[in-house]
């Protein structure tokens, strides 16, 4: 068991596709593309590189809170461990666990290929949203910033009744991971999550307005102000604002379940399969329609690839299917492979695998992560954060 008890070193259901009881109807927030074509970034300037570029390692967090997970905790832990072991086949994985007891369990379940540390306290497993965004400057420099995680606009409390204090440790994860990695750290002047923004590493961002221009995260901030801050932090020059869905899931419509960058100039969109509620079907189509008419920061017309979600979820009880995050898009990219999921719809699973492999030119590993995608409502991307080679 590769476990480090280095405490002296510096340093739920997350998403539901069911309508909340008493919640307002979801709103499709259609937004125009902002920003014109601008010069490419200057050589040596700081930027968050695309996820397809080489990694030093992947960061994850071990769930150990019964307050958050209740009776589902062991099932979620099993899926997190399966994913961590798979990623560790391709690149190093550091798993942050909340103290020695949690670290010991994580090490036992994850096995010797995953490095478990107990010096960075964590509340839950959503490292994409709680961890730092690492930047490089092309000359060997590494720094980072955080997006001031506030439990998805405190939606974890308003949706599920989980006390806000249950996420207190996750509010400081970003700076502690950065310190462990030896990267300087600053806090951004906006509130949000890493799963709420996609970046190509070449000057262009895309995000849903519903996540960012939202009073539960950035009250009093205009879209232009939020855009300017994100562009500055990511080292980008153009934002593509996409339609979003408000009030239907705890994230208010994170982009990483629907549209992802493959590489600069190329994006992939998942059009909804038969099991997705109508609001998400309409939103996916609206996102697609914006992107096919978009150019990036370098003036390239985006190439928009598409896949379709599953039409059946044979392993999931009918009453739970509308809660299920049936997204192939929420993959984790490693240096040598892409790790995603399969849902038991053989035709759609195989088609998605073939399309993602063709897009990346890398093998695609499909795992059964039903508990994470079902009880957790998040996926492989949601629970990982890459640290790039500097």
Phi-psi region of 100 (alpha: psi -120 to 50; beta: other; left: phi over 0): alpha
CA separation for the pair 122, 254 (Å, rounded): 22
Phi, psi of 133 (to 5 degrees): -95, 115
110 included as an active-site residue: no
Helix 73-88 to helix 100-110 angle (10° resolution) is 60
Torsion, Cα 213 217 222 227, to 10 degrees, reads -70
List, in order, residues 6 or more apart from 143 with CB less than 8 Å away.
46, 134, 135, 137, 183, 184, 185, 186
CA separation for the pair 189, 52 (Å, rounded): 27
Cross-strand bridge partners of residue 388: 55
Q: Rounded to whole angstroms, what are the CA distances from 262 to 50, 51, 302, 333, 381?
A: 9, 8, 11, 10, 14
Catalytic choice (110, 125, 211, 382): 382
**Which single residue is written with the structure tokens 């040596």?**
44
What is the set of active-site residues? Answer: 382
């Amino acid at each position: 068991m590769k476990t480090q008890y280095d405490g002296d070193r510096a340093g739920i259901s997350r998403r539901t596709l069911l309508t909340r009881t008493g919640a307002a109807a979801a709103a499709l927030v259609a937004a125009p593309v902002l920003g014109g074509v601008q010069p490419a970034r200057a050589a040596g300037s700081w930027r968050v590189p695309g996820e397809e570029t080489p990694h030093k390692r992947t960061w994850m967090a071990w769930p150990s809170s019964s307050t958050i997970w209740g009776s589902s905790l062991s099932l979620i832990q099993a899926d997190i461990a399966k994913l961590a072991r798979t990623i560790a086949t391709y690149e190093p994985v550091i798993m942050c666990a909340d103290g020695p007891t949690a670290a010991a369990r994580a090490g036992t379940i994850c096995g010797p290929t995953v490095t478990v540390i107990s010096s960075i306290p964590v509340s839950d497993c959503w490292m994409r949203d709680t961890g730092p965004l690492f930047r490089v400057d092309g000359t060997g420099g590494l720094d980072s910033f955080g997006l001031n995680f506030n439990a998805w606009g405190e939606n974890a409390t308003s949706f599920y009744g989980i006390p806000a204090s249950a996420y207190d440790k996750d509010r400081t994860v970003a700076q502690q991971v950065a310190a462990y990695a030896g990267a300087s750290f600053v806090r951004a002047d906006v509130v949000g999550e890493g799963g709420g923004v996609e970046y190509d590493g070449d000057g262009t961002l895309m995000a849903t307005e519903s996540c960012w221009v939202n009073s539960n995260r950035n009250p009093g901030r205009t879209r232009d102000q939020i855009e300017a801050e994100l562009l500055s932090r990511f080292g980008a020059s153009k934002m593509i604002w996409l339609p979003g869905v408000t009030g239907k899931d705890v994230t208010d419509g994170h982009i990483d379940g629907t549209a992802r960058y493959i590489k600069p100039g190329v994006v992939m969109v998942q059009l909804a399969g038969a099991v997705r509620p109508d609001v998400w079907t309409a939103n996916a189509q609206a996102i697609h329609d914006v992107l096919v008419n978009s150019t990036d920061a370098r003036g390239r017309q985006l190439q928009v690839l598409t896949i379709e979600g599953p039409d059946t979820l044979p392993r999931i009880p009918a009453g739970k299917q509308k809660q299920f995050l049936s997204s192939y898009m929420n993959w984790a990219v490693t240096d040598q492979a892409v790790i995603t999921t399969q849902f038991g719809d053989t035709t759609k699973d195989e088609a998605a695998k073939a399309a993602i492999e063709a897009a990346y030119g890398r093998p695609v590993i499909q795992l059964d992560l039903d508990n994470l995608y079902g009880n957790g409502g998040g996926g492989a991307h949601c629970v990982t954060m890459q640290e790039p080679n500097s």
